[in-house]
Structure 1
Amino acid sequence: MDTQQNTALTRALAEIPGPLPARGVIHIAIPHTDRFTVVGNHLAQHPDLSCTAVGIAVRIQSLPQGVEVGIKALAARCREGEKRIAAALRELEAFGYLQRVRDRLPSGRTITRTVFCNQPTALLRPRQTASPRRPAVAATHQAPGPAPGPGPAEELTAAPAPAPDPAPDPAPTPPSPSPSPSPSPEPDMPEPPPVPPPPSFVTPLPPLFVPLVPPPTAPKPPPAPLPRPNEPTPELDRAATALLSDLRRHAPQFTLSETDIRQLVPGVAAWLERAAHPDAIRRILTTDLPHPLRHPAKLLKHRLTALLPPPLPGAHELTAPARPRIAVTPFQTCDGCDRVFRSPTPGHCRDCREHRAHRSEATRTAA
């Protein structure tokens, strides 16, 4: 039997205007009349969202209001597991499509509301609030003018006004004052301030996610310069050259040329000046190497620059600060009354000194 042909597909392809593309997808667009959801290309073709996140976003966008869209609820509806759904929800939350807001009800209970925005970039644009009833306000302040007369068509179709009922003659009234001249037309009133929107229980969405990793097209900062010793000496230069030349014995990947060694000598000299042991420098430079190692000189320059140790502190910086000593006056025993008192030197207490002075004064007076 021959292969069964799909005549409906053939007829649909024949109805597509223009020549069909030689490669790629061919779209047969049939307009939807019911049960459809509008999805923007910014979501369907998002360069940083995974296909799982895009599919979860379309599923959430197609659900009606009030349907549970938690991780377990979506796992019950979809074939993906809870881990993939949780990762997709985090992606949507990072790019502003989804936000989980904690709200407190009047009863005191705290609930979590899930807010989904189908176009988060539109929230960042300033919204223009149209002034309500502007034409009516302008019309009420226009100057009164003569009413235009009815046109020919209006005269034919206008119904005659009903005659007023006869009323008794009113009592004579005093003459009314002459009408004042009509005021000049006033200028248009200023535009009324826009009416603020009613408060909403949903907090505004945060700005779009700013990735921590810059895009590949972003300008890269200049690399840090290779460290150099503060006081270059021939001994440091000779020791650094020997250390770099000896690296190939420990790691054959570091078979450096003379030009590379001359360029890296100041960095190794800076390490040696800061009292770094040669074995420690060699171990840091040759361990945990990438495979394959394509640019050994660049790797050595990066490690010498990024892993430079600080200078060793001096002996006086490692000692604990000395506490200030408080001078304590020792206790002394009075030679006259055996009373204990504080004094730097032994002798008599204050009372004995005063008594001895008073007695000496009395003896001098009597003499």
Structure 2
Amino acid sequence: MDTQQNTALTRALAEVPGPLPTSGVIHITFPHTDRFTVVGNHLAQHPDLSCTAVGIAVRIQSLPQGAKVGIKALAAHCREGEKRIAAALRELEAHGYLRRVRDRLPSGRIITRTVFCNRPAALLHPRRPAGAPPQPAKPEPAPAQAPVQEPAPVPAPAPVQEPAPAPVPAPMQEPAPLPASAPAPVQEPAPVPVCHPTAAPPAPELPVAPVAPPAPSAPLFVPRVPPPTAPKAPRRPLPRPGELTPELDRAATAFLSDLHRHAPQFTLSEDDVRRLVPGVAAWLERAVRPDSIRRTLTDDPPQPLKHPAKLLAHRLTELLPPAPPGVDDLAALDRPRPRFTVTPFQTCDDCDRAFRSPTPGHCRDCRETRAAYEQAAA
């Protein structure tokens, strides 16, 4: 009595066709009428994909066009974490189910499009356009119907060119009712090609008509190669002083020439020194001491240092200190600020309560009590 029997399951098992297997899974299949997605066995039974990757692929395939399928978007609706979802997406990308394509918009902005293909193997074969020309090319018996439709215009010129023979119009009238009855019997009787010996000249014209539409060759599969990346932003120019005076030029040249004594890896050529002089002069113009400049430029260089001049140019540009404040700015700092008078705390002589007052004495309650006593005594 404690065991509950599922009658619905028992009824469904009874309706399964054929004998039930003694081991393994038993499928109870109901046809879907709405909200279903077709998934191929090549994905559901993929030998190299993990179950997480297969599940993520099925979820992506069930989503509508334009749905977010990023790592964070999937993690918000799945129990798997972002790391497992990222690993599953990499598996799908390695097997061709998922592709991330970088595309440039007309505005110049570069976006990443995520493309999911339910059958990656189909992309390896040539694909035909969605137009109608390739469709009539598939059925081969089509040329048999073409001569049947053209005998109608053929009899008109035939009696004009040869009015003498009377038996010619007799066979011309026979093919006319044949297409009206049905096209199928036209292919079965053998006399059809025999009755139209004049159909030989129009025969070469028949392939010309269908060849004209499919003249543009069907485009093969075009590999989705991402567009080139956006061009890098131009480098900032080397800073220059407001005026490169001879004193600044001489001091900057001496600083750069003497730099290798403090940091041997920063040995510069004469051309490098001439190119970096304006940058050092800009630092000296901003009242930065030479030892501070040397410490900033040579501190913690990369190992091994391959291009010392490029590193110095980068640090001279990116670490340029601000211009020193002017006299007016310093005067504003020294200007006295307005002061506010704060009333000190006092202790009441009667109740020892703290209160604010410029002079010592009694608090408000004690003053009111004393005033009440004085009035009562009076």
The answer, yes or no, to whether TM exceeds 0.5 is no
Scaled by the length of structure 1, the TM-score of the pair is 0.42
TM-score (norm 2): 0.41
Larger % of helix: which?
2
